[in-house]
């Protein structure tokens, strides 16, 4: 089974503090830095690119495509799905898919929701994605201990049988079964805080069990200095939650790429033998 590495390409403050904030120059520099790192490590990853980022940094998006990484959509404005109506969500993904395809000439087949906000109240989004021509979604967190999640969702990839009759592959965020619960272990804040030996154990155990491991990160996790340059006050709790562990992230990320060579999410999704799952809607 495959190890997949994904990047949610976005600006830290715009995506986590206030979606009305501008995309900063810092996020573009961080993404260029990450692309340099991926070039040195000689790996290709899947990039879920935010529309607002693509608008500000079109050349960076072109570079992502030219260097052989997968171009996928993270929507346009980074608004949680359950705050949008189905019509607003359709507009958001159409805009994002359209701009990425216009910039790169590559069909966009994968989508990831902001903050894994595809939950019970926004599960209708899967139908919209299938109607808009997406092959797979990677927005569901089937674990506990997360802000948003769907804890009764299958923990491994499935072919989702939708009410419309359409189908879509779901590549959920990878979780690890421990003490009778499923804990997220696949990236972001978890990888900032977990020691490398535990991350290595989680990936090895998952792959050895014949399962897929879908890891994720953000460009800002490679930027430990960002919080020294903030232009607005940030409560200590947020500072700790969002900033802790950035310094050690890059070393762990490199070790992960060196030990587990990643495949692209689209290649995993297009394997034809996924079990069919019909969600209760």
Closest separation in Å from C-beta 211 to Zn ion: 24
Determine the Cα–Cα distance for residues 144 and 177; give it in Å rounded to an integer.
10
Q: Which of 3, 8, 45, 111 binds Zn ion (CB under 5 A)?
A: 8
Which C-beta is closer to Zn ion: that of 10 or that of 70?
Answer: 10
Cβ pair 199, 252 in contact under 8 A: yes
Determine the Cα–Cα distance for residues 172 and 75; give it in Å rounded to an integer.
17
Contacts of 66 (CB under 8 A, 6+ apart): none
Which C-beta is closer to Zn ion: that of 114 or that of 149?
Answer: 114
Q: Near Zn ion by CB under 5 A, which window of 15-23, 34-42, 147-155, 205-213?
A: 15-23
Query: Applying CB under 5 A, does 141 fall inside the site for Zn ion?
Result: no
Closest separation in Å from C-beta 16 to Zn ion: 8
The contact pattern for Zn ion, residues 105-124, with x = CB under 5 A and - = no contact, is: ---------x----------
Cβ pair 111, 93 in contact under 8 A: yes
Closest separation in Å from C-beta 58 to Zn ion: 19
The contact pattern for Zn ion, residues 56-95, with x = CB under 5 A and - = no contact, is: ----------------------------------------
Return phi, psi of residue 49, to 5°.
-100, 130
Which C-beta is closer to Zn ion: that of 10 or that of 170?
Answer: 10
Determine the Cα–Cα distance for residues 190 and 199; give it in Å rounded to an integer.
9
Exposed (0-12), middle (13-18) or buried (19+): which is 196, by Cβ within 10 Å? middle
Q: Near Zn ion by CB under 5 A, which window of 2-10, 24-32, 175-183, 190-198?
A: 2-10
Q: Which of 2, 14, 15, 174 binds Zn ion (CB under 5 A)?
A: 15
Contacts of 143 (CB under 8 A, 6+ apart): 149, 151, 155, 173, 175, 181, 182, 183, 184
Applying CB under 5 A, the residues found at the interface with Zn ion are 8, 10, 15, 114
């Amino acid at each position: 089974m495959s190890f997949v590495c994904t990047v949610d390409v976005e600006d830290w403050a715009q995506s986590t503090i206030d979606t009305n904030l501008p995309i900063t120059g810092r996020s573009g520099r961080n993404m260029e830095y990450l692309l340099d790192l991926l070039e040195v490590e000689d790996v290709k990853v899947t990039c879920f690119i935010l529309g607002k980022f693509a608008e500000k940094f079109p050349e960076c998006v072109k570079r992502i495509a030219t260097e052989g990484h997968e171009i996928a959509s993270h929507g346009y404005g980074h608004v949680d799905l359950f705050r949008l109506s189905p019509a607003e969500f359709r507009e958001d993904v159409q805009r994002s898919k359209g701009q990425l395809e216009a910039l790169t000439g590559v069909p966009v087949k994968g989508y990831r929701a902001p903050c894994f906000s595809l939950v019970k109240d926004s599960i209708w989004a899967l139908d919209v994605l299938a109607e808009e021509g997406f092959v797979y979604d990677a927005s569901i967190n089937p674990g506990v201990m997360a802000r948003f999640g769907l804890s009764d969702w299958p923990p491994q990839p499935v072919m989702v049988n939708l009410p419309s009759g359409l189908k879509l592959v779901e590549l959920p965020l990878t979780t690890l079964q421990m003490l009778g619960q499923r804990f997220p272990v696949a990236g972001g804040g978890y990888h900032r805080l977990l020691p490398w030996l535990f991350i290595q154990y989680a990936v090895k155990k998952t792959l050895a069990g014949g399962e897929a491991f879908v890891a994720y990160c953000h460009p800002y996790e490679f930027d430990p200095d960002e919080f020294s340059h903030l232009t607005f006050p940030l409560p200590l709790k947020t500072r700790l939650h969002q900033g802790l562990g950035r310094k050690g992230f890059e070393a762990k990320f490199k070790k992960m790429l060196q030990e587990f060579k990643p495949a692209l999410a689209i290649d995993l999704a297009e394997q034809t033998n996924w079990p069919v799952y019909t969600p209760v809607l």
